[in-house]
Amino acid sequence: MAMAAVCVVLAPRVIAPGLRMMQPISRMKQSQTRLEQMEAQSNWKRPAAEVLTAEQLDRFFAVRQRIDAIRRGADPRLDRLPRKHVRSLEELRQVPDVIQGVSEMVTGELDAYVAGRMTPEEYHWVSRIVYERWRGSLKRAGRYPAALRAAAAEVDAAAAGERDGRVRARLQALAAQMRAREPAPPESFDPETHRLLLARLDDVEKWSLDDTESHLSR
């Protein structure tokens, strides 16, 4: 009888967290189903050549923008997700809230692919070309335009504080030359894709996801 009474008291406290976890998991499954349907209808195949189109970049940056917003809005409680077995009733109570946060991130990123009409395979292929093959190569060579712009801004700042008019004019001219300088494409990189990315440099930087963290890869 005593054991039965304990079970009656504890059952709601143990079962309720499990029920609260079912809804977010169900939403994740629905988003996964929609993504799989889109993938089944997609005609995209990995090309032999690493060539991007303007339309493809439009879709890619739209997906990045959504993912950026999802990650910035992530619940900080995600860091409290138990890494090992739940050892107490208190930890068990925390799990549904954390699962809710994880669900929102997973569901949001899955939905971003669907909304952007881009499969994860195509997305990661484009991402590697943009951020590893192009930006990474130019940065390692010291020829990345964003870095040149930052250096030009420093020269402009120095010019603004220079009292000698001739020196100020030279500094301003140097800054203008630095901003106008267009780097050659990385070795064996498609020239037209290089030109497209130079034209979208602001988007490349704005949606780099450099300062956001994905909690999904832990």
User: Rg of the chain's alpha carbons, rounded to an integer?
Assistant: 25
Cα angle for residues 64, 131, 146 (degrees, 5° grid): 95
The pLDDT, as a whole number, for residue 198 is 94
What is the structure's pLDDT at 41?
Answer: 94
Residue 209's region, left for phi above 0, alpha for psi from -120 to 50, else beta, is left
Structure-token pair, residue 165: 């008019």
pLDDT at 22 over 60: yes
Compute the distance between CA of residue 72 and CA of residue 58 in angstroms, rounded to an integer.
21
pLDDT at 101: 64
Task: Enumerate helices (H) and strands (E) in the chain, giving the number of each.
Answer: 9, 0
Look at the chain and count its residues.
Answer: 218
Q: In this prediction, what percent of the chain has a pLDDT beyond 90? A: 43
Q: Which has more confidence, 115 or 5?
A: 115
Q: Is the pLDDT confidence value at 170 over 90?
A: no
DSSP string, 148-215: HHHHHHHHHHHHHT---HHHHHHHHHHHHHHHH--PPPPTT--HHHHHHHHHTHHHHHHT--TT---G
Highest mean pLDDT: which range of 2-16, 61-75, 192-206: 192-206
Q: Closest Cα to residue 61, out of 104, 105, 115, 102?
A: 115
Neighbours of 133 (CB within 10 A): 19
Nearest residue to 89 (alpha-carbon basis) of 6, 5, 1 = 6
Q: What is the mean pLDDT of the chain?
A: 79
Which residue from 140, 141, 149 is spatially nearest to 181, judged by alpha carbons?
A: 149
Q: Tell me the pLDDT tens digit for each residue of 65-119.
A: 999 998 887 655 555 444 444 444 444 455 556 566 677 788 889 999 999 999 9
Question: What's the rounded mean pLDDT across residues 110-137?
Answer: 96
